[in-house]
Amino acid sequence: MDSSREQKRFCKDPVSFSFLFVRQEILFVIGFYNRCDAYLGLFNSFRPRILIDVSKIDMTTTVLGFKISMPIMVAPTAMQKMAHPDGEYATARAASAAGTIMTLSSWATSSVEEVASTGPGIRFFQLYVYKNRNVVEQLVRRAERAGFKAIALTVDTPRLGRRESDIKNRFTLPPNLTLKNFEGLDLGKMDEANDSGLASYVAGQIDRTLSWKDVQWLQTITKLPILVKGVLTGEDARIAIQAGAAGIIVSNHGARQLDYVPATISALEEVVKATQGRIPVFLDGGVRRGTDVFKALALGASGIFIGRPVVFSLAAEGEAGVRKVLQMLRDEFELTMALSGCRSLKEISRNHITTEWDTPRPSARL
């Protein structure tokens, strides 16, 4: 149940409520399996190499010059204290323990300073551009002072997608939680609305005029490298390079913004080819197994970000849960590398996989 309002609805009309709840869950599952189908259906098979000494596997890599233990990083996910009381604190500690990067959401329920206080770690900050550019500038500079190492600029949300579950539930933050990065700016609270409190918040605060010029503007207010998050086409990848982006995150916002966008794994190779190695390309979304990590790297990704697995494990077991999911993916990825004959990330190549695009299609007979 999402709220006391939903409980009352259930008591009044359990049949219709149950139907709506099941319909909502079915739609979620369909979307989930569409993404899974992309990971499963896109790849016909692996092409492992044999009789290679894989007694030692090196998964370390560098991202924007920072060394991490594995190419598996934590994506920005908002409002984590809705999943667990420790929220972003727990995620930050787990990522640091795993030797990898955590990306903090602008809409976190813990501030950049609070997350920095959890101890040393490599952290990126995800940024939405607000209509009030002074707010943006303050936020970026606070992230810099707190020791964050890069800005991940989300570019696929000039407006919020139609999230029907949020509308039905009139989603808003519980009264005991705020968007901590905006406390004191009258932007930390999310008011109730007739439909979705989040949609109303975005409509009122997020700048719909966001353009490539703003990527260049950000470079005038910070020395931090800027990753452009939300690229799905080769055309936009080339423009991102021209605009001075330090890297690209191929992302479809968890497929919650626009129906019929491709799964990120399907869009990845086009973006990689467009960049021609000039800047790193990362994959965000859909990764559920270590084999998925291997597929992404074989298609040219420099690393991957996970979101939902982190939030699910956070809700289940807090920091311990996040540590477990990162360790599980690490172990599965290491095993996949070994069984594919790869001793380091640089040995993973396009030759290790075949996709549906590689399979010759029979010509039609007249």
Give every CB contact of residue 242 below 8 A, 6+ residues apart in sequence.
Answer: 212
Give every CB contact of residue 348 below 8 A, 6+ residues apart in sequence.
Answer: 294, 297, 298, 337, 340, 342
- pLDDT for 200 equals 55
Select the more confidently predicted residue: 366 or 283: 283
- Are 166 and 190 within 8 A, CB to CB? no
- pLDDT for 225 equals 98
Query: Cβ atoms within 10 A of the Cβ of 361, count?
Result: 7
- pLDDT for 51 equals 97
Give the domain CATH number at 314.
Answer: 3.20.20.70
**What's the gap between Cα 255 and its chain centre?**
11
For 170, the token pair is: 């009139």
Q: Is 213 inside any structural domain?
A: yes
- pLDDT for 261 equals 87
Q: Is 362 inside any structural domain?
A: no
Catalytic sites, residue numbers: 253
- pLDDT for 159 equals 75
- pLDDT for 283 equals 98
- pLDDT for 239 equals 98
Tell me: pLDDT of 78 over 80: yes
Q: Which residues are annotated as a binding site for glyoxylate?
A: 128, 163, 253, 256
Q: 150 - beta bridge partners?
A: 124
- pLDDT for 279 equals 99
Cα-based angle 9, 191, 200 (whole degrees, multiple of 5): 90
Q: Is 43 inside any structural domain?
A: yes
- pLDDT for 17 equals 42
Q: Is 363 inside any structural domain?
A: no
Tell me: pLDDT of 190 over 60: no
pLDDT tens profile 2-32: 444 544 544 455 444 444 444 455 555 555 5
- pLDDT above 90: percentage of residues in the chain: 64
How far, CA to CA in Å, does 162 sit from each of 18, 195, 197, 202?
Answer: 22, 11, 12, 12
**Predicted confidence band at 49 (pLDDT cuts at 50, 70, 90)?**
very high
- pLDDT for 174 equals 80
Domains identified in the chain, total number: 1
Phi, psi for 286 (deg, rounded to 5):
90, -10
Q: Which residues are annotated as a binding site?
A: 76-78, 105, 126, 128, 154, 163, 229, 251, 253, 256, 284-288, 307-308
**Predicted confidence band at 259 (pLDDT cuts at 50, 70, 90)?**
confident
In which domain, by residue range, is 171 found? Answer: 4-355
From the CA atom positions of the chain, what is the Rg in Å? 21
Q: Is 46 inside any structural domain?
A: yes
Closest CA to 321 of 308, 305, 337: 308
- pLDDT for 65 equals 97
Q: Is 293 inside any structural domain?
A: yes
pLDDT tens profile 195-221: 444 445 555 677 789 999 999 999 999
Q: Which residues are annotated as a binding site for FMN?
A: 76-78, 105, 126, 154, 229, 251, 284-288, 307-308
**Predicted confidence band at 97 (pLDDT cuts at 50, 70, 90)?**
very high
Closest CA to 204 of 193, 212, 215: 193
pLDDT tens profile 52-72: 999 999 999 999 999 999 999
- pLDDT for 43 equals 64
Q: Is 172 inside any structural domain?
A: yes
Closest CA to 80 of 107, 118, 117: 107
Closest CA to 32 of 283, 268, 287: 287
- pLDDT for 1 equals 40
Section 129-148 average pLDDT: 92
Tell me: pLDDT of 242 over 50: yes
For 39, the token pair is: 């990971």
Coil/strand/helix, residue 300: coil
Q: Is 361 inside any structural domain?
A: no
- pLDDT for 197 equals 44
